[in-house]
Structure 1
Amino acid sequence: MRSSPFAAPDGTLVAAPDPARVGFLTSHDFAHRGLWGGPVPENSLAAARAAIQGGFGIECDVRLSRDGTVMVFHDADTERLTGRADAIATMAAHDIQALRLGGGEEQVPTLAQLAGLIAGRVPLLIEIKTDTLAQTAPLCLAVRRVLEGYRGPVAVMGFNPEVSRWFLNHAPKMVRGLVMTEHRGSRGRALRDAIVRRLAVRRARPDFLAYDARLLPSALPAALRAKGLPVLSWTVRSEADRATVAAHADRPIFERPRSA
């Protein structure tokens, strides 16, 4: 039988990671951007404290300020969360931290502040947000520097397979993941998307997947999970989502209901 052009020499897309190395990924549910809601804003230190108190792992997003500081922030610009319309990448860290999240008292934390607060008490899952390929290496390097000497379970991930690839090449001991969704439509588009996703896995060589819960069950995460790759799933917001993830993945990346 002719081998797939997307398979590794042994017929698999990626090698299964050492279970001892990635076990923390399946030991906790992860609070998406911390345990936020009501007066507690997403990706804030208050949201992290609430997650720690609840015994949950913490998922966060990071971007790079103009002066090279890793900021814990999801969006490329600040308008939705602070009311001020500026791009994170064009602002110095002290200007970003002068803003307040959601009209309250919480400032935008740095990754160093968040890591210092968590201090290894619960697992930390860092999504690296890049809008251009040129942003990838500088942000990955800055994240690696922040985490040097960090004692605690931590992993990095991104939609861009170059994030995982960068850590494979420059910090191979770091647990690294690939965030994935699907673009379903016509048969032709679905086939192209399936090929692109397989190529992304081959390029990234991740230790785990973080897969869109809306699209489970799906063949690719099922196949990789069967080979030993942990599969987390985002964003879980309902009991139905939790049931789907329980059946087809290992742990949810969740938000509590908006009414909570």
Structure 2
Amino acid sequence: MTQYPPFARPVAHRGLHDRQRGIIENSPSAFTAAIERRFGIECDLQLTADGEAVVFHDDDISRLVGGNKLVRALSANELTALPLLESATSDCPQTFAAFLDQIDGRTPLVIEIKKQANAKDTSELAKRVVQTLATYQGPFVLKTFDPRMIVAVRRQGFSGEIGIITYGYDKPEWYGDMPAQTRFVLRHLLHYPWTRFTFISCEQTALGLPAIRLFRALGFKVMSWTVRTADQAKIARHNADQIVFEGFDPDA
């Protein structure tokens, strides 16, 4: 496995955000701050009602812009006109295309394609992401929790690096009503024969899982999320090749 650029520097989780300073996650200001510090950028993609990829983490808009609608119930124009709550500069969410224009190859990107509600949404978001990246010249990798999304992206002709995001599947508040058999497959990365992911993004407390250790021993790069303290970073760096961080300075 090669050492591709998104593993060269710590990766700022949803940009280098700081709500107390009015710099909100996944905002243009957070991305500018990460670029200024030479950090990589992790961001999240969702699908709008009109089939556009937008940089937004949550399924609904309540936490970040207010209201009770789902992202996929709004058009891209509607969502990108809503100011992010507590933004000092009245930043609004961006389309994926606008985000790529902002970054313009200045720092490596780790792009998370969020899990979608159904197979139709999965294929639509995969198609839009691959289309939008077709002419982008900067370094990037894709990643997702959803094995179906990896397959969907490959079916759209994407041949670059794409990772599986995983954890111990031991947190009911995260996995909800997911069947035990599905959790077993995901925890042990048993989908590899058909997903053929090229790297792993693992929650920092799960780096000791046998499957993670095995794939890393085989040469797969492992990125660890979300690291929030220097002590966590020290542990993660022993068991992973790079960290996704927030809330502290990994260069200190």
1:231 alignment partner in structure 2: 222
Tell me how far apart the structure 2 counterparts of residues 26 and 63 of structure 1 sit (CA, whole Å).
24
For the Cα contact (< 8 Å) 2:60–2:71, is it kept in 1?
yes
Tell me how far apart the structure 2 counterparts of residues 183 and 70 of structure 1 sit (CA, whole Å).
27
> Higher helix fraction: Structure 1 or Structure 2?
1
Tell me how far apart the structure 2 counterparts of residues 202 and 241 of structure 1 sit (CA, whole Å).
32
- Paired residue for 1:250, among 241, 247, 250? 241
- Paired residue for 1:50, among 24, 29, 33? 33
2:71 alignment partner in structure 1: 88
Tell me how far apart the structure 1 counterparts of residues 127 and 196 of structure 2 sit (CA, whole Å).
18
C-alpha deviations, 1:149-186, integer Å up to 9, x for none? Answer: 1001111111001122223333242211100011249x
- Paired residue for 1:125, among 106, 110, 114? 110
Letter in 2 for 1:247: H
| 1:35 aligns to 2:26 (yes or no) | no
For the Cα contact (< 8 Å) 1:61–1:74, is it kept in 2?
yes
How many residues get paired? 236
| 1:218 aligns to 2:209 (yes or no) | yes
C-alpha deviations, 1:188-244, integer Å up to 9, x for none? Answer: x99984444332333321110000102222211111111111100100001121012
Give 5+ residue unaligned stretches, structure 1.
Answer: 1-16
Q: CA deviation at 1:98?
A: 1.5
Give 5+ residue unaligned stretches, structure 2.
Answer: 172-178
Identity of aligned residues (%): 31
Q: Could you say if the C-alpha distance between residues 97 and 220 of structure 1 is closer, same or farther in structure 2, counting changes exceeding 3 Å?
A: same
1:73 alignment partner in structure 2: 56
Tell me how far apart the structure 1 counterparts of residues 150 and 9 of structure 2 sit (CA, whole Å).
22
| 1:148 aligns to 2:134 (yes or no) | yes
For the Cα contact (< 8 Å) 2:45–2:113, is it kept in 1?
yes
Q: CA deviation at 1:83?
A: 1.5
| 1:163 aligns to 2:149 (yes or no) | yes
Letter in 1 for 2:92: Q
- Between structure 1 and structure 2, the one with the greater Rg is 1
| 1:99 aligns to 2:82 (yes or no) | yes
Query: Secondary structure at 2:112's aligned position in 1?
Result: strand
